[in-house]
Every structure is written in structure tokens, then in C-alpha cells.
Structure 1
Amino acid sequence: MFVPRGSVTAERRERLARRLTSLDGLTGGEAMHPGTAAAVREVMHVVFHEPETWWTADGPVDARNPRYLVRVHVPNAWRKDLSEPFVRFVTDALAETDEERRRVREEPVAEVHVIGVPERGYGLRGRVLGASDLVTMLGDPFRRSQESGEDGPLLPEGSVYDPMCGAIVKLGPDAVTLERDGRTYGFCCEHCRRLFVAERREGRPC
């Protein structure tokens, strides 16, 4: 997040950081398996930058005329699905902490860029990971718990676990689903559904 130098106090930076790393806020309160939630938290970061110089075509941007420029990096395969939720989520967080809440929504002072990281352009623990590798990493704790027979949170009625990442998906007309062998699978996004289908083609068990 880029902000004019001196425009955001340490207390407000902390409030913003806590808000932007809130899984409940990001998912709209939709739950996920605890193991998946822990894995997601490990790769969420908020970094503040305060440039020495910041201009727009209308002149300098400073603490008296604050603006926000927020860049959210996600795997490029997820960018289309996540752009609208992230723009809304970040704008809500800024509005909640800005002294003039309406300004963030009514004036062009808060830009949010959802940037796709190229496939295999992300590294963690010394390894290069693609979007599918990330899904596997985030979903591994959930899958291990399923294989061991551990009980997760009680699923709300009409909901299922995404078999790839452990997100809890409410079934309905707008849900991303797949019917297979008399069973309905739900997915958090099209990418997880495609990955699930690809794994089944390779003969991996459901």
C-alpha cells in the first residue's frame, strides 16, 4: 500500500493491516477448514510505502491531500475471479479507517490494482510454485485431516468442503459445482474445479 508520507499514523497502519489480513473480512464471513486458514495466513502480507515524491496531473499528493494506491498480488490464474472481491474488500477497509469515509467511495482517491503473478513466478521455501501448486499447498492440511478421519468444523446445512483447498462452499444456483458418481462437489472458484477434474483424469482418488 502506497500512502503519502506522514498521512497515516502508526495506530491507523496497524488497524489497516489487521483489517486487510482478516480472513473473515476477505471471505465475507465464509468459513474454511482450520488447516487451510492457517496456511492462507502464512502467505498474507501487508506492506506500507511512503514515497518521498508523489504527484498526479493535478499536483503533489501529500498528507493534506492523501490518496491511496494499493497493489494486491495473486496468481494470474486467479486474478479474474478475485479482482472484484479484492477491490471491494480493500476499498471497504480504507473507508472504515479514513477520517472522511465517504471520500474513499465518492472521489478518485483510492486505486486498487489486482496484479496477476505470472505462472511459476512465485517462490516459497526455495521452491518455484505455480497456481496449482499453491492450491495444493493451501489444501494439504485439509486433505491430510480428511485422510486421517479427523473431524473439521460442523458444516452449515447445504454446504460442502472444496476438495482441493478446504474452503466451505454453500451449494446453490451460483455455486461452482461438479456432479460425479452421484455426488455433488463444490468449489471456491473455477480454478479449483479445473484442477480437480485434471487430477481425476490422471487417476488420483476423489
Structure 2
Amino acid sequence: MKTVIIKYNAGNVQSVMYAMDRIGASYLWTDDEQEIRTADKVIFPGVGEASTAMSYLREKGLDKVIPSLTQPVLGTCVGMQLMCRHSEENNTTCMGIFDLDVKRFDSTNFKVPHVGWNNIYNLKTDLTQGLRENSYMYFVHSYFAELSPYTVAECNYVQPFSAMLQKDNFYAAQFHTEISGKEGQLILENFLKL
């Protein structure tokens, strides 16, 4: 099985590689369109800022490639947000796979960004098979996708928001699967089994 991790202007890729190594999965880190299109699974991770990341994707033509993929695709953190329609972070037009806007947490009572462990619930995706309701995942984000018909797991910080999204072959998680312990590892393993 060929798994590709998309290379673009977003950090934290090393953590994803370590997570793949831990579960014994081989992978290729690339921004090459042909390699991405011929992969069996595609992982689209990210840490960083939306407009900078989208600029790199546009420069490489990946903003058109990613939405056209037909194999299972998993976006995490900023990767998930870029799969939405628009982000309030620097007023960024994103890829529009999920017809959702990404908004900034607005709170005087909670610290923003939302950093640390938080539980996810209302699990409704194959990726959470074998996971207990209210399992804890590791989050680092100031922006979120609201609850929607695409929501397949929820979290609550300031307000309920989408912890995971799914549409057809596209899966996304706001949290970092790669640093969420055994539970995050299980989600990665489930993705690779799709």
C-alpha cells in the first residue's frame, strides 16, 4: 500500500512521520502531483497559518489536486481547516471540500488558542471504530469549524465544534492524531485500513 504525506508549507510533519513509523506504516513525503494521485491513502497534516499554507498549495497546483482525489484522504488540524471553504484567519479562501467556514474562537472567559487534551464525543465515523466515547485528543488551535452535517465527532471549548468531519472519501480531524497517544494512533490505523 502506498501512503503519501503531502508536503507543503505547514509544520509538524516530523510528528506524523514518527507516528507512521510507530505503527509500522511506510509512507512518502511529497508535493509531486503524480505521486499523490497514485497513492492508496493520502495524509494532509498541518500546523501553521492558513493563508501561507494555501499560497504554497496554489503555487504547486495542489489546491486543485487535493479536492479531486478519489482515494481516502485524511486532513488534520490546519489540514482540516484548509479543506473547508473559507477561514477567518487572514480572510483565506480555502479548498471548499467541506462547505463550511472556519471561525476564530471568540471568548473572554477561555484562553485562545485552545491547547491541550480535550474529549471528543458523538463519534460517527469508521475512523473512530474501537474508540470509547469521550476519549481524549490533543488540540492546538484558535480557529474551528462549526457543527454541520459533515460533523462525525464533536468537542466543546468555548462552544461545541467539529472535532472531525467526513464527506465521501475525505476525512478530517481538528486534533493532532499523531500526538494523541494510543487513541490517536488507533484513528491513524483505522484510516490506513479503509
Greater radius of gyration (CA): 1
**Normalised by the size of structure 1, how large is the TM-score?**
0.23
**Normalised by the size of structure 2, how large is the TM-score?**
0.24
Please state which structure has a larger fraction of its residues in helix: 1
Please state which structure has a larger fraction of its residues in strand: 2
